[in-house]
Amino acid sequence: MGGEVNLILGGGRGDDFYDDDDDDGHAIALVGVGFEPTEDELVLHFLRPQLRGFAPRVAGAVVEADPCGAAPWELLARHGLRGEGFFFSARARKKPSVRRTVVGGGGGSWMHSSTKNGQSVTDLGVVVRWCRINFCFYVRGEMGQQRSTGWMMAEYEITDPRCYRRADDGEEDDFWVLCHVRKSSRSTAKISPAKARRRKPAAEGRA
């Protein structure tokens, strides 16, 4: 699906973006049915306008919520989302943490898995540099080890503030990042590398 089509289909509360109302009368957003943005679209049409104080290209496609405020399945359920969701979250300007504990997540944590740097260019030629930090959601198992739940998060951050604010503006304490939370189709039996330990082979019988 092309970029322009993605943005048009997701606009407002069209039938391609929202399903029937739930039991409480709230519209259920079907992110992924009519809203499949590329990374360039996420950065240029959603994250950059949010940082500049402007409305995004598609209203309601990205909601303001902290992915560390609840387990990912609970977070999506709160907003009537299915399978995946896009969220604006406020972050303090500090060195990114490799681990983020989730409040009320049953001991769950987002664990860093990889980082990617990229750049996008606006129609006016403004170069927007950004990074994508990938996380996997782990919970503590019965034996105390961290086990993957199959949930993943890509956190997008614009790394050059000059592309969205004036040079004479002061440094802000908090800024927005855009998080794409989704369920992976891979197996959920993976153990966190940070907690995985090699077991010593059982001792052989004494001679």
| Count of positions (residues) in the chain | 207
| Of the candidates 95, 91, 90, 179, the residue with the CA atom closest to the CA atom of residue 137 | 179
Q: According to the model, what pLDDT value does residue 8 have?
A: 34
Query: Is residue 23 scored above 70 in pLDDT?
Result: no
Cβ neighbours for 31, distance < 8 A, ≥ 6 positions apart: 17, 61, 81, 82, 83, 84, 85, 86
Query: Is residue 201 scored above 60 in pLDDT?
Result: no
What are 49-64's pLDDT values in tens digits?
999 888 887 888 999 9
Q: How far apart are CA 162 and CA 95, in angstroms?
A: 19
Query: Is residue 199 scored above 70 in pLDDT?
Result: no
More confident residue, 109 or 9: 109
Sequence spans of domains, the chain: 39-183
What are 103-154's pLDDT values in tens digits?
766 668 999 999 999 999 999 999 999 999 999 999 987 776 778 899 999 9
58 neighbors 42 (Cβ within 8 angstroms): no
Q: According to the model, what pLDDT value does residue 43 have?
A: 96
Q: According to the model, what pLDDT value does residue 167 have?
A: 58
pTM over the 0.85 mark: no
Q: Which fold has domain 39-183?
A: 2.170.150
* Residue 162: C-alpha distances to residues 89, 101, 128, 192, 193 (Å): 20, 31, 9, 37, 37
Q: Residues 67-88: what's their mean pLDDT?
A: 93
More confident residue, 6 or 166: 166
Q: Residues 146-172: what's their mean pLDDT?
A: 83
Query: Is residue 22 scored above 80 in pLDDT?
Result: no
| Of the candidates 112, 151, 102, 149, the residue with the CA atom closest to the CA atom of residue 132 | 112
pLDDT band per the 50, 70, 90 thresholds, residue 184: confident
